[in-house]
Structure 1
Amino acid sequence: MAIPREKGLDNSLALLLEGYKYIPNRRTSFQSDIFETRLMGCQKVICIGGKEAAEVFYDNEKFRRQGAAPKRIQKTLLGENGVQTLDGVGHKHRKKLFMSLMTPERIDDLTEITSRQWRIAIENWEQKKEVVLFDAAREIMCRIACEWAGVPLWAKELQQRTTDLSAMIDAFGAVGPRHWRGRQARKKSEQWIQRIIQQVRQGQLMPHEDTALYAMSWHSNLDGKLLNIQMAAVELLNILRPIVAIARYVTFGALAMYNNPELKAKLQTDREEYSQMFVQEVRRFYPFGPFLGAKVRSDFYWNGYNFTNGTLVLLDIYGTNHDPDLWEEPGKFKPERFKGWQGSPFSFIPQGGGEYDIGHRCAGEWVTIEVMKVSLNFLANRIDYQVPKQNLNYNLVRMPPIPKSRFVIRKVKQK
C-alpha cells in the first residue's frame, strides 16, 4: 500500500509557515496517521502520529536515533552526540546515568530547592511595579537547576547563564538570528561547564556525590574511560537546560489559571490531587515539542506500509496530544481528564513516549512535573497579583511559542 504523499520537491517552507500544525494539518487532509513529504533539502521524510504510531516509533528494533537529529539542533538545543542521539547498549549505559539522578530523595531535594527559590524571588517581586513572569521564571529555573545539579552560580553571572540556556531552547525551531544566538549560547555554555568539570577533576571543586555535577564529572564509558570534558559538559547541560525550559510550562500554567479562574479555585484547594491533574493538562494542552525524529534501522512493514532502512521518520508530538481519537474534546483545557488516569505511555507524550529506563522517554519528566507543581502552587496559593490588559496570544507557527507579552503581573503581594 502506498503512503499518502505531499506534493513538492521541498516542503520546508510549509513547515516553517505552519509550525506545530504542519503534521496535524496533513494527517487531517490525508485522513491518515501517516504521510510522506520532503524536508530539509528534498530529504524524504515519513510523518506519523497517534498512539499506534508512537508505539512503533519507540521500538528500538525498528528505529535508531543516531543520525536523526539535524546538526542545527545538536549545535543549539541538544549538544553534539548527547544521550538523545545514542542507541543500543551505549544509550542504555548513558541513560542509566541520568536515571540514577532521579531518586525519590533527589526529587525531594529538588522540590525543597524550588520552594526556596520561589520564596526568594517573590520577596523581590513585592518591590517591583510589575514582573514579566516568563523572564522571571527563567531566572528562577536557572537558579534551581544549578543548585540541584551542584553547579556553582555567582549572582553576577545569573543573567548571562539564564540568557544562554534560554537561547539554546529558543533556537530549536528557528532560522536566522535566533538560530545563530542559540549556537553562540551553546558554545559559551559548554565552555563554562567544561571549566567547572575540569575544576572538579583537578580537586578544586568538591561537589556532593549525589549531584549531577559529580556524576557527569566522574562518569565512565563502557570502555572504563571517563567521558571526555566536552561530552561531560553536553550531558550536564542536558540536566540544566531542560529545567530552565520549565519556565515555559509555568507561564502557560499561569495563563491557564487566568483564562479559567474556576480551575484556579480548584487548584487552591487541591482536592484529589488536583494539582497533578492540572499540571498534566498544561503539559498536554500547551505547545512544547512539536515532533521527534528517528531513522529506520532496517526494512519493515507497519499497518500495510513499507519503511525502508535509513528513512527519517517524524513522530507528531503536538498532534498526538491533541488527537480526537485519543482525547475527548482535545481543544478544551480540562484537567479532570487526568483523574485516576491510567493511560498508555504512547498516547500522552509531551516529553516523548515509551519506557524511562531503557527507552528514549525523557528522564527528566518527573523533574518537570514536580517543579511545575511547586511553582504553580506559589502562583495560586502563596501570592496575590493583578494581570493587566496585555496580549496573551501565542503563535503555533513559532517554535517554541510563548504568550506575546510573556505574561505581565502587577502588585505582587505575599498572602
Structure 2
Amino acid sequence: MSSNAKVPHDKSIDNSFALMKEGYRFIGNRIEEYQSDLFETRLLGEKVICMSGKEAARIFYDTDRFQRKGAAPKRVQKSLFGENAVQSMDGEKHIHRKLLFMSLMTPPHQKRLVELMKKEWEKAAHKWGTYENVVLFEEAKNTLCKISCDWAGVPLKESEVKERADDFSDMVDAFGAVGPRHRKGRKARKRAEKWIQKVIEDVRNGSLEAEEGSAIYEMAFHRQLDGKKLDTEMAAIELINVLRPIVAIATFITFSALGLHENPQYKEKLQQGDEQFLEMFTEEVRRFYPFGPFVGARVKKGFIWNECEFKKGMLVLLDMYGTNHDSRIWGNPHEFRPERFEDWDGDRFEFIPQGGGDPEKGHRCPGEGITVEVMKASLDFIVNKIDYEVTEQDLTYSLSKMPTLPRSGFIMKNIKLI
C-alpha cells in the first residue's frame, strides 16, 4: 500500500495522454473530482504529485523544500528555456544569476522599453491604415522582437525581424507540443543560440560596441560566483531568456484586446485615462486568460503536508491556471471582472500567472513588471490612439493547447489613428 493512502490517486496507469488532451484543465479537473488540493498520478512513467491553491503555492515556493534542478524535462530545456539555464538552478548560484536578471528589469529599464514600445506602435499604426486587415498577435510579436533587441543592444536588421520573432515565438509554442510543433521549437532555439552567441563574441572581442548596463553587455561580462565569465553558449542562452519572454508578451496583448472586445462596457473607463483602472484591467487579463498552465519542481528533502508524504526527488506540479481560477480566492473566477483588483492585498501566492513568491529570491518571473507595463502601454494604445473594427473571425481559444491563443490572432480592419 502507498505511504500516501489518504491522498487521492489517479486511476490511470499513466496520465501523459490525458495531460496533453486536457491541457490547462488537467490538474483542476482532478482537484474538483477528488475535492482535494492535491493528488498523485503518473506522467511519463513517473510518480508525480499535482497540487493547486494558495497554500500549495506557499509550500511549493519554499526553497528549503523544493528545488528546480531536474524538474524541467530535457525536451522543455531544449525548446523553451535552454539547457542548464537560470530556471534549473538553485541556492546561491540561482540567487546570483537571478540578480543579474533583476538588474535588467528595474523601473528605469522598464520605462525605456515602454517608451520604445509606444514609438513602435505609433509607427506601425501609420502603416496599418494602408492594410486591408491586421493580425494583432503577429504585429505585437514583431514589434516586441524589434524593441527588445533594440533595448538589449542586440543588432537586428528590419529584414530579419519577422524570422527572429517567429523563432522566439516557436520556442514558447513548443512547450506543450509534440511532433512537428515541438521540433520546430527546437530548431528555432538552435538558430537563435547560434545568432546570439556570435553577438556575444562580437561584444567580447570589441567588434560590437555595447553600452554598460545594457542586457547584451551584462550577459557578455557577467561573472559567476567563481569569478569566471559565462561561456558564450550559456551567455547566449540567458540573453535569450531575457528576449524570448518579452516577445511572449504578444500573447497577453492579444488577450487584452480580446478582453476589451468581450467586455466593451470597460472601454469608456479606459478612455478616461484612469491609471489605476488600466492596471486593474491588465491584471485581470493576466488572471483570467490562460498563459502558463503549471510549473514543476523536485522535492529537496522529504516532508509531510496535508497528510501527503513528499519524498526526496519526487516531481511536483503546481497548477498556475487553476490557482488563478480558484473560487476560494477569486469570487466567480470565470467572470472577467477587473474591479476585483481594487482591494486585492497583493498576496504573491494567490495570483501566479508568471509564478509565485518573491522574484528576487525565488523562481517568480523577474520580468513581471515589464510584462505589466508593456501590456498597459499597448492597451492604452489600442483604446486611445487607434480606431478599428473587429472583423468576423474565430476568437475562441483551446484550453487543451499549451500555450494557447485566440485562433484568429485577433484580426482588426479599417484602422485609423485618432
- TM norm. shorter chain > 0.5: yes
Shift of the alpha carbon at 1:267?
A: 1.4
Partner of 2:93: 90
Aligned residue identity for 1:8: S
2:284 and 2:337 in contact (8 A); partners too:
yes
Q: TM-score, normalization: structure 2?
A: 0.98
Quote how far apart the aligned CAs of 1:2 are.
2.6
Q: Which residue of 1 aligns with 2:36?
A: 32
TM-superposition CA deviations, 1:333-389 (whole Å, max 9, x none): 000111142131000000000001111110000010000000111101000000011
Amino acid at match of 1:252: F
In 2, the alpha carbon distance for the partners of 1:11 and 1:186 equals: 28
Is 1:329 the counterpart of 2:332? The answer is yes
C-alpha displacement at 1:147, in angstroms? 1.2
Q: Which amino acid aligns with 1:165?
A: F
Question: Normalising by the residue count of structure 1, what TM-score does the alignment of the two structures yield?
Answer: 0.99
Question: For residues 389 and 265 of structure 1, what CA distance do their matches in structure 2 show?
Answer: 23
- The Cα offsets for residues 293-312 of structure 1, whole Å up to 9 and x where unpaired, read as 00000110112211100000
One-letter identity of the residue aligned with 1:22: F
Please give the residue correspondences for 1:108-119 in structure 2 after superposition, counting only pairs within 5 Å: 108-119=111-122
Return the alpha-carbon distance in structure 2 between the equivalents of residues 265 and 207 of structure 1.
44
- Partner in structure 2 of residue 198 of structure 1: 201
Q: Report deviation, 1:213.
A: 0.5
Q: Could you tell me how far apart the structure 1 residues matched to 2:37 and 2:109 are?
A: 40
For 1:386, the aligned partner's letter is: E
The answer for the alignment partner of 1:267 in structure 2 is 270
Give the equivalent residue in structure 2 for 1:6.
10
Q: Confirm whether residue 49 of structure 1 aligns to residue 18 of structure 2.
A: no
- The residue identity in structure 2 corresponding to 1:14 is A
- Asked if the contact 2:7/2:307 (under 8 Å) is kept, the reply is no
Match of 1:211 among 201, 209, 214: 214
Residue 277, structure 1, aligned to residue 269, structure 2: no
CA-atom RMSD in angstroms: 0.9
Amino acid at match of 1:390: Q
- Amino acid across the alignment from 1:329: N
- Output the CA distance in 2 between the equivalents of 1:123 and 1:176: 39
- The equivalent of 1:166 in structure 2 is 169
1-structure distance, mates of 2:398, 2:211 = 42
What whole-Å deviation, never above 9, does each CA across 1:135-160 have from its counterpart, x for those lacking one?
A: 11110111121111111110111111
Give the Cα separation in 2 of the matches to 1:66 and 1:123. Answer: 47
Matching residue's letter, 2:111:
D
The one of 346, 361, 364 aligned to 2:367: 364
Which of the residues 75, 78, 90 maps onto 1:75? 78
Q: Indicate conservation of the 8 Å contact 2:293/2:320, yes or no.
A: yes
CA displacement 1:148-181 (0-9 Å, x = unmatched): 1111110111111011111001110000000000
Q: 1:200-239 maps to which residues of 2 (within 5 A)?
A: 200-239=203-242
CA displacement, residues 239-286 of structure 1 (integer Å, 9 cap, x when unaligned)? 100011000000000001111111122111132611100100000000
Query: Between Structure 1 and Structure 2, how many residues are aligned?
Result: 414
1:120 Cα offset (Å):
1.3
Tell me how far apart the structure 1 counterparts of residues 164 and 114 of structure 2 sit (CA, whole Å). Answer: 22
Q: Does 1:22 align with 2:23?
A: no
**1:91-133 Cα shifts (integer Å, max 9, x gaps):** 0000010011122211111111111111111111111110011
Contact 2:121 2:381 in 1 (8 A): yes
Q: Does the residue aligned with 2:94 lie in a helix, a strand or coil? A: helix
Contact between 2:23 and 2:402, CA under 8 Å: does it hold in 1?
yes
Q: Distance in 1 between matches of 2:171 and 2:107?
A: 29
Unmatched 5+ stretches in structure 1: none
Determine helix, strand or coil for the equivalent of 2:309: strand
Moved over 6 A (4+): none
Q: Which residue identity does 2:19 align to in structure 1? A: L
Identity of aligned residues (%): 54
